[in-house]
Structures are given as C-alpha cells and as structure tokens.
Amino acid sequence: MDMDRRVLCIVVHDVAPSTWSNCRRLLDGLAALDHFAVTLLAVPRYHGEQPSAAFESWLCERAALGDEIALHGYSHLDEGMPRTGRDLLRRRVYTRGEGEFVDLPFDEATLRLQAGREWLGRLGLEPEGFVAPAWLLGAQAWRALRCQPFAYTCTLRRIHLLPQRRSVVCQSQVYSSASAWRRGLSVLWNASLARAQAVAPLVRLELHPSDEEHAAIRNAWRRLAARQLDTRRVCTLKQVAAELRTASEQHQD
C-alpha cells in the first residue's frame, strides 16, 4: 500500500437507535482529539428494534458533515443453530449470538443486504461498504455480497475489495467490554498490537458503543487514538478502498 503518510481508519460499530447515546459520546471523545471523518456502521433493525426518525435524521447529518455511513448487517442477530461444539463457542460465546451472516443461505443473505441498502437509500445514502456483524461471513453470504454493488467489506484481519475480493492485511484494534477479565486483556492486547503496527501503512481502530461505558476501555482507546493521530492521517474505509483500488489498477497497468 503506497501512501504518502500512514493511515488510520476509525470505525464505530453497531450504530442504531438503542446505542445512539453511546455512539454520540464516542464521537464527542474523538472530536476532542481532532476533527476528521469516521466510518459509522449502521444497523437497520438492531436486535429487532423499530426505526427512529430522529436517529435517521442524525445519520444524515453525520453524512453531510463528511462521515461515511456503511451497512452493518440487518438485525445483528445470529438466529441459526450451531452445528458443532466449536461452532457453538464461536457463535454463542465469542460473538454472543450476534454473527448474523455466519450461516445464512444465499437467498436470505441477499434479502437482508438488499433491505439494508433500501433503508439507507430512502435516507438518501448510498453505502459503498458492508461489514458483517462480528466480521463473520459464511460461504453463501460471501456469494450474495459479491452480487451486490458494494465496493468493499472487512473481516477482522483484512479489508476486501469487491467484487473481486482482492484484500490487504489489516488487523483490527478492537476492545472487548463483556466482562472485567476481557476488558483487562483487551487493553493489554491492543496496546501490544498498536506497537506491532507502528510502521504498518494502515491500521483500523474499531470502537463499539459499550466502549464508552467502562473507564478503563474509554481511557485506553482515547490514548491509543491520540498516539496514532500524531503520525497518521485519518481516512474512512471507503476512501481507503478507493486508494487501494487505484493502486491495484496502476500496478496491473
């Protein structure tokens, strides 16, 4: 990735009416560090909740200010049945039942992708990116995604250009706030990961609404963001995808 300055992508997950207040606090914390555009991963019907006109107006306001609005699943719930013990651990413990696209058949994945795009389209927003809840995409969901007009998707460790699925390595810096021991480990892990990524051309700092609820996590991500802002320019995911696509096309020429 040949860029004139190393890049930081800041991504806010699970943006929805019920998480709105925490999302705004996250954005206020970021604004206290500097002014830049972020990527907001919006969920149309988060955990089955109903639409909110006020929330939708706010999304449009954020887009007008320069933030990217990307699609983040439809319900953010994995309603399927795990098949093995390992599957159970991944889908009910690691992701706490939120890996919506991990096991969807092609037709159902297509319906949810289209419904999400239509929701944002009614707000006058055209999402270029789709990020699956918990970054999990099953084989049929991958196939459905590549049939939709998205420019990119992300997994935990990579950014993928669509529909070709060319990708670059970019391990996410992400915190876990589910329990005290997870919070403690994730603070240590992300500090170590950031040191390892100090000279990486691209890093992703991925925040969740619950990151604002615990002082240890809140202080950790703000310190981490501040340090990385000293040496990196901030881009949205769609900006990075566009730069990667241009670089790839130039390399092929």
Contact 23, 85 (CB under 8 A): no
Q: How confident is the model at residue 81 (pLDDT cuts 50, 70, 90)?
A: low
Residue 143 reports pLDDT greater than 70? yes
Give the pairing type, strands 167-169 and 158-161: antiparallel
The answer as to whether 2 is a domain residue is no
- Round to whole Å and give the CA distance between 81 and 243: 39
pLDDT value for 109: 98
What per-residue confidence (pLDDT) applies to 1? 47
Q: Does residue 78 belong to any structural domain of this protein? A: yes
pLDDT, tens digit, 9 for 90 and up, residues 150-168: 999 999 999 999 998 899 9
Name the domain count of the chain.
Answer: 1
Output the average pLDDT for the chain.
Answer: 91
Domain-embedded: residue 227: yes
- Per the CB < 8 A criterion, the answer to whether 69 and 237 are in contact is no
Domain span at 57: 7-252
Q: Which residues, 6 or more positions from 106, have their beta carbon under 8 angstroms from its beta carbon?
A: 140, 141, 143, 144
Place of tokens 């560090």: 33
Asked if the structure places residue 84 within a domain, the reply is: yes
At residue 88, the pLDDT reads 47
231 is a domain residue: yes
Coil, strand, or helix at residue 202? Answer: strand
Question: What number is the average pLDDT over the span 66-82?
Answer: 87
Reported as a single tens digit per residue, the pLDDT across 191-229 is 999 999 999 999 999 999 999 999 999 999 999 999 999
Long-range CB contacts for residues 54-59, cutoff 8 Å, separation at least 24: 55/16, 55/17, 55/20, 56/123, 58/20, 59/15, 59/123, 59/125
| Rg of the chain (C-alpha set) | 17
**Spatial separation of the C-alpha atoms in residues 125 and 40, rounded to whole Å:** 12
* Cα separation, 244 vs 250, whole angstroms: 10
Q: pLDDT-based confidence at 179, cuts 50/70/90?
A: confident
Task: Identify whether 55 is part of a domain.
Answer: yes
Q: Which residues pair with 154 in a beta bridge?
A: 159
pTM, entire model? 0.93
CATH number, position 17: 3.20.20.370
Mean pLDDT across the stretch 21-44?
Answer: 97
**pLDDT tens-place string over residues 88-128:** 455 555 556 677 999 999 999 999 999 999 999 999 999 99
